[in-house]
């Protein structure tokens, strides 16, 4: 079933502007994931390096990063229902964007409102992440004035996100992607400075950047007062799962979020080698992929629309990978010959 879904999704992704953008759950895990901290992990190494004096600063010790993020792209009018199901399943971190073309922030806000009013969740139980998207990656439903200065566009988009989500602050605010494919422009630096201001004003706890190359990430970090806390990229097995960027992130104290872990890697995941590994370690293909991501320090995203998949994915830590398994998966793209017919 997963194979059909993966292929279907790849077909779907081809039609999207991607440049920027049954397994029974053991009772113990079900209960674990219902607990409010289930998808959060505490980090002692908050990676916000202030440029002034180049010192490492740490945010409060109660600082929590999610272990797994539920993504809300391409859900349109089903967004509210699916976010509700994801929260019921145990997800506590939600990724969205103020980019009406691919996301419906208001639908996320409606789901949150329902859960808050039912007394099931409080704002502080959740990790909410959204994005600023340049006009070139939007349709005509812009969350800012087209003729406003970039800094004003960021502030207008940010305020509109708070209104859509009906919250007073964000956990993470992401630049959806640089304005150009190579290098950075003065506008990118201006946008980042405005995002830094939002962070200093306490309106977002963290900043991040998405769809970024190594060269661009280095330029951003060189020009930044505050480094990104997160990089969110499409994670291809055939680049060693974004090996170079992950290495730079590790050195710089940045946490890597990976999306399309399943859909970008059909060839590798369908290979005889990978399936053999899954058979040996147990669990499902997606659990092995998400567990692999988790064990190498990636925060995975999933946008599954299926409640069984939601619960299955959340139970990824029923799988344990040895160092040899990790090495094997890291190099899977080079190892495989051809997918089995
Ligand atoms: N920053 C960016 O530019 C950017 C770009 C793309 C995505 N994202 C974020 O990342 C999120 C996730 O997107 P994605 O590209 O990773 O793909 P996705 O939207 O999560 O798609 C996963 C596909 O795999 C299928 N699938 C089958 N078994 C599954 C299982 N056990 N668990 C999960 N999926 C399973 C799903 O089908 P079923 O629905 O039937 O499970 C779906 O078709 C997005 O919603 C968005 O928030 C960000």
**Residue 47 covered by a domain:** yes
Cα(69)–Cα(89) distance, integer angstroms: 12
**Residue 4 covered by a domain:** no
Question: Which domain CATH number covers 86?
Answer: 3.20.20.100
Report pLDDT digits (tens) over 135-186.
999 999 999 999 999 999 999 999 999 999 999 999 999 999 999 999 999 9
pTM for this entry: 0.86
User: What residues make up the domain containing 215?
Assistant: 25-335
Q: How confident is the model at residue 232 (pLDDT cuts 50, 70, 90)?
A: very high
Cα(335)–Cα(34) distance, integer angstroms: 38
Cα(70)–Cα(173) distance, integer angstroms: 15
**Residue 15 covered by a domain:** no
What is the structure's pLDDT at 39? 56
The rounded Å distance from CA 61 to ligand 1 centre is 31
Report pLDDT digits (tens) over 306-329.
999 999 999 999 999 999 999 999
CA nearest ligand 1 atom 4, residue: 21
In Å, how far from its chain's centre is CA 163?
21
- Identify the residue whose tokens are 């494919």: 181
Cα(254)–Cα(275) distance, integer angstroms: 32
**Residue 93 covered by a domain:** yes
Q: Based on the structure, what is the number of domains in the chain? A: 1
**Residue 208 covered by a domain:** yes
What is the structure's pLDDT at 64? 75
How many Cβ atoms are within 10 Å of 29's Cβ, its own excluded? 17
To the nearest whole number, what is the mean pLDDT of the chain? 85
What is the structure's pLDDT at 120? 87
Cα(305)–Cα(309) distance, integer angstroms: 8
Q: Which two tokens stand for residue 188?
A: 């990118």
**Residue 81 covered by a domain:** yes
Mean pLDDT on 69-91: 98
What is the structure's pLDDT at 29? 26
**Residue 327 covered by a domain:** yes
pLDDT at residue 42 greater than cutoff 90? no
pLDDT at residue 19 greater than cutoff 90? no
In Å, how far from its chain's centre is CA 100?
18
Atom number in ligand 1 closest to CA 262: 24
CA nearest ligand 1 atom 19, residue: 303
pLDDT at residue 236 greater than cutoff 60? yes
Mean pLDDT on 208-222: 98
What is the structure's pLDDT at 97? 98
The rounded Å distance from CA 41 to ligand 1 centre is 22
**Residue 181 covered by a domain:** yes
CB of 211 sitting under 6 A from ligand 1: yes
The rounded Å distance from CA 265 to ligand 1 centre is 12
The rounded Å distance from CA 149 to ligand 1 centre is 33
Atom number in ligand 1 closest to CA 21: 3
pLDDT at residue 287 greater than cutoff 80? yes
Segment holding 207, helix H or strand E: strand 204-210
């Amino acid at each position: 079933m997963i194979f059909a879904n993966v292929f279907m999704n790849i077909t779907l992704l081809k039609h999207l502007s991607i440049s920027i953008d049954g397994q029974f759950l053991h009772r113990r895990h079900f209960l674990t994931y219902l607990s409010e901290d289930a998808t959060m992990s505490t980090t002692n190494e908050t990676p916000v390096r202030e440029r002034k004096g180049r010192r490492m600063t740490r945010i409060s010790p109660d600082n929590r990063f999610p272990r797994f993020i539920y993504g809300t792209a391409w859900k349109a009018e089903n967004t509210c229902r699916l976010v509700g199901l994801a929260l019921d399943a145990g997800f506590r971190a939600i990724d969205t964007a103020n980019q009406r073309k691919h996301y419906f922030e208001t639908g996320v806000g409606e789901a949150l409102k329902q859960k808050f009013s039912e007394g099931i969740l409080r704002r502080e139980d959740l990790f909410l992440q959204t994005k600023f998207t340049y006009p070139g990656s939007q349709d005509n439903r812009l969350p800012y004035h087209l003729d406003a200065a970039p800094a004003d566009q960021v502030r207008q988009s940010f305020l509109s996100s708070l209104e859509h989500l009906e919250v007073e602050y964000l956990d993470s605010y992401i630049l959806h992607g640089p304005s150009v494919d190579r290098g950075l422009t003065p506008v990118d630096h201006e946008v980042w400075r405005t995002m830094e201001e939002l962070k200093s004003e306490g309106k977002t706890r963290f900043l991040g950047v998405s769809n970024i190359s190594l060269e661009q990430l280095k330029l951003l970090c060189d020009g930044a007062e505050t480094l990104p806390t997160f990089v969110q990229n499409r994670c291809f097995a055939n680049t060693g799962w974004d090996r170079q960027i992950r290495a730079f992130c590790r050195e710089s104290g940045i946490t890597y979020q990976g999306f399309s872990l399943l859909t970008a890697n059909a060839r590798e995941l369908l290979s005889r080698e990978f399936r053999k590994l899954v058979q040996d370690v147990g669990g499902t293909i997606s659990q092995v992929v998400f567990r692999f991501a988790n064990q190498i320090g990636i925060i995975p995203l999933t946008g599954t629309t299926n409640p069984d998949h939601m619960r299955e994915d959340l139970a990824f830590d029923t799988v344990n990978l040895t160092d040899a398994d990790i090495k094997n998966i890291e190099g899977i793209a080079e190892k495989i010959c051809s997918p089995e017919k």
